[in-house]
A and B are shown apart, each in its own frame.
Chain A
Amino acid sequence: MLRRRTAIIVVATLFTAALLLSLFTHSTGVVRNDPARNVWIPPELTMPVQLQVAYNDAQIFFHYRWPARQPHVFTDLLRYSQGKWQRQLSTPIGSDPDGVYEDRLAMMVDDGSVPEFQRYGGYITVGANMRDFTGSGPDAAHRRKYLPATRRDPNEWYSIVDQATLEAQRRAGYFLDLWHWRAHLSNPLGRSDDQHVAWYRLYDSGEPLFVSNWDRDKGQPRWMFDRERSGVRALRWEDVAGGRRDESQPYYLLAATAVPFDATHPWEEGDVIPGQVLREPSGSRDEIRVQGQGRWADGYWDVTLVRALDTGHPLEDKVLRDQGVYSIALSVHRDARASRWHYVSLPLQLGLGRQAKLMATRFTGPTPNWNRVETREVTLFYPGQVSWKHLSSARHAGSKYIAKGVPVKYRHKETQLAQYGVEMEFDREIRRQWALSLIAGVLLVASFVFSVSLLFRHRED
């Protein structure tokens, strides 16, 4: 039989241990990857991008530098396996286990014609039930970015306004310019892809940078490497899996140098040919170039993009002017991830000769001296599955601030948004666990106090 004092000490120790155990283990045990629900949480929720911007009378230069453990320069590969050519069509959930998905950097640009963008950035382009969201369904592959006013109901993907309204919106500048640098599909050409977001994520007009190499009818590639020029007809799977790249071999297929596919060649298990053929673009699609080389070294990508201030395509590219202030938002795909598994930034104000959060440096001559240009470190974060529908609904406590036009940066930090994004993906599970924890905590205190009250009142001689 315990003495009263000993019993009090045991009870107090149990109570204290329970409290400490709760403190040390809290917020664990629920968040885990679940590919069946399209849930995959990146190990790092934020990442930095260093950004420099300079401009002269005719062009604007953006220099981006961001960390990546290794470069991923392959995407969409055609692979000879089990006696036939096969194409990987589905996007990986999170990091591609084979490491075969290219690194990408994208930047949305607006001149103030999309007023919500400067306050909420890319969130406004994320409608309900977007592709790769949990429960979005198998028919959601086409449900990509769009601007809210391009829909009669901003939360209903299919309620697109009529063509005349879309055209009027475009003339009024209601679209976001989208610069899209891709390690495989644009970088080898010294280009960035040029797109824009309006009723959909659209490509600018002109000849594309890449065309499919997949002959669906024949179930085989259309083109292959020219052995005379490249030294190989195809790559080997073991040389590219894991994102590896043999420097002595080509990693992309150029239309100018590729040769028609030879079906009679004795192809071997594990032969690989790129699924897209790169070609010279034209028109509005050919406006953004890579200055020098976009290259990866020592754990970092360094990419400089350059474009005319005015490309002459005002319905697809935002015209930038000296003394103008613009909004930009960045995104990065790395570690062989695709689709929504990227890092994004909050909108950043960019001034060309005018006061702004980030001032572009004006220079004379053909290229800037980057040593004289301010470097701004921008924090990018994993956004999770947070849609504009959720943010503007009553379920979001901040929706009243959105209705008032309060910018996101006044209420949230990037680290906070990343954490919120993750918790949104486990909303039901976390809420249940939280409710049980709340009740358990109350009962623990009640049980402890009841116990010590019994022991306090019971005096020993």
Chain B
Amino acid sequence: MGPYHAIMVHFPVALWTVASGIVFFRAFSDGPLARAFDRVLVPLLLIGVATGVVSYTLGLLVWPPDTLQATPLGRNHMIAASWSLSSWVAVLFLRWRVGEVVWEGRVNRLIMVGLGALGASQLAATGTLGGHLHGGPAYLSELMRVFGWDVYHTFYTPTWVLLVLAVVIVVMPVLAIVTTRGRAARSQREEAGQ
């Protein structure tokens, strides 16, 4: 499945790269061109995610699971691909569910830029690791080393960090729900008082 995986990954790589460009452009511009690009963002991301899922599945079939997970490069490629896919699904979900509100205000735009940058960097890491696995290492891995990730070390977090992540995973939505419900309740009380 290796050759088919290599062919297929061109689609999400291209689509997500364009998508990240649109996200950055739209975040810094309200012009008609930026708005026009933004209108195609959701379909672009949708096709990107669909082809990304197919590429991911084909990638899982290149080697038996035990082989892929027995090598640091294989593990790193898999974790980067999983996070890359998650990040772009996240951007798609946010833009589709929230609509143009994502471009309202500096904070919203900054979050979109952050997510776009996260997705783009994870995409670059995934591609670099795929190149290593395929026998064509790129110097991008040296850049990754500068940012603290040696690709020959399996990326995993210690248990105490996993616990911190678990707390953050729970606290973020709780905070959001409490904030939105509290605000909604106060608005209702204010409306009833009037």
> Which A positions have Cβ atoms within 8 angstroms of B?
1-5, 7-12, 14-19, 21-30, 394-397, 410-411, 415-416, 419-420, 423, 427, 430-431, 433-434, 436-438, 440-461
Main secondary structure of the interface of B (DSSP, over half): helix
Among B74, B115, B172, contact of A14 (Cβ-Cβ < 8 Å): B172
> Which B positions have Cβ atoms within 8 angstroms of A?
63-64, 66-75, 78-79, 82-83, 86-87, 90, 93-94, 97-98, 101-102, 105, 107-108, 110-111, 114-115, 118, 133, 135, 147-150, 152-162, 164-166, 168-173, 175-180, 182-184, 186-187
Q: How far is B135's CA from A455's CA once the two chains are assembled, in angstroms?
A: 45
Contacts of B172 in A (CB 8 A): 11, 14-15, 447-448, 450-451
Shortest C-beta distance, A328 to chain B (Å), equals: 26
13 chain-A/chain-B pairs, Cβ below 8 angstroms? A4-B179, A22-B165, A25-B158, A396-B71, A433-B158, A434-B75, A442-B83, A443-B169, A447-B168, A449-B90, A449-B94, A455-B176, A458-B180
Provided the pairs A397-B68, A434-B75 are in contact, do residues A456 and B101 lie with their beta carbons within 8 angstroms? yes
Most central of A410, A420, A453 by chain B CB within 10 Å: A453
Q: How far is B154's CA from A430's CA once the two chains are assembled, in angstroms?
A: 8
Contact A457 B97 (CB under 8 A): yes
Among A2, A9, A21, A457, contact of B161 (Cβ-Cβ < 8 Å): A21
Contact B72 A431 (CB under 8 A): no
Provided the pairs A10-B175, A437-B79 are in contact, do residues A1 and B169 lie with their beta carbons within 8 angstroms? no
Contact B158 A21 (CB under 8 A): no
Shortest C-beta distance, A459 to chain B (Å), equals: 8
Q: How far is B95's CA from A456's CA once the two chains are assembled, in angstroms?
A: 10
Shortest C-beta distance, B86 to chain A (Å), equals: 5
Q: How far is B87's CA from A449's CA once the two chains are assembled, in angstroms?
A: 9
Contact A24 B148 (CB under 8 A): yes
Contacts of B154 in A (CB 8 A): 27, 423, 430, 434
Contacts of A456 in B (CB 8 A): 94, 98, 101-102, 108
- Find the B residue at minimum CB distance from A454: B176
Main secondary structure of the interface of A (DSSP, over half): helix
- Find the A residue at minimum CB distance from B82: A438
Which are the 5 A-B pairs with shortest beta-carbon distances? A29-B158, A451-B176, A449-B90, A433-B156, A7-B179
Contacts of A436 in B (CB 8 A): 156-157, 162
Contacts of A451 in B (CB 8 A): 172-173, 175-176
Contacts of B158 in A (CB 8 A): 25, 28-30, 433
Contacts of A10 in B (CB 8 A): 175
Shortest C-beta distance, B83 to chain A (Å), equals: 5
Shortest C-beta distance, A98 to chain B (Å), equals: 33
- Find the A residue at minimum CB distance from B81: A438
Contact B83 A434 (CB under 8 A): no
Among B66, B79, B182, contact of A441 (Cβ-Cβ < 8 Å): B79
Shortest C-beta distance, A432 to chain B (Å), equals: 9
Contact A446 B86 (CB under 8 A): yes
Contacts of B162 in A (CB 8 A): 433, 436-437, 440
Contact B157 A440 (CB under 8 A): yes
Shortest C-beta distance, B2 to chain A (Å), equals: 10
Q: How far is B96's CA from A453's CA once the two chains are assembled, in angstroms?
A: 10
Further pairs besides A397-B71, A434-B75, A437-B156: 19, Cβ < 8 Å: A2-B178, A2-B179, A12-B107, A12-B111, A15-B168, A23-B147, A27-B154, A395-B70, A423-B153, A427-B70, A434-B154, A438-B79, A443-B169, A447-B169, A447-B170, A450-B176, A453-B98, A456-B101, A457-B98
Provided the pairs A14-B172, A397-B71, A448-B90 are in contact, do residues A458 and B183 lie with their beta carbons within 8 angstroms? yes
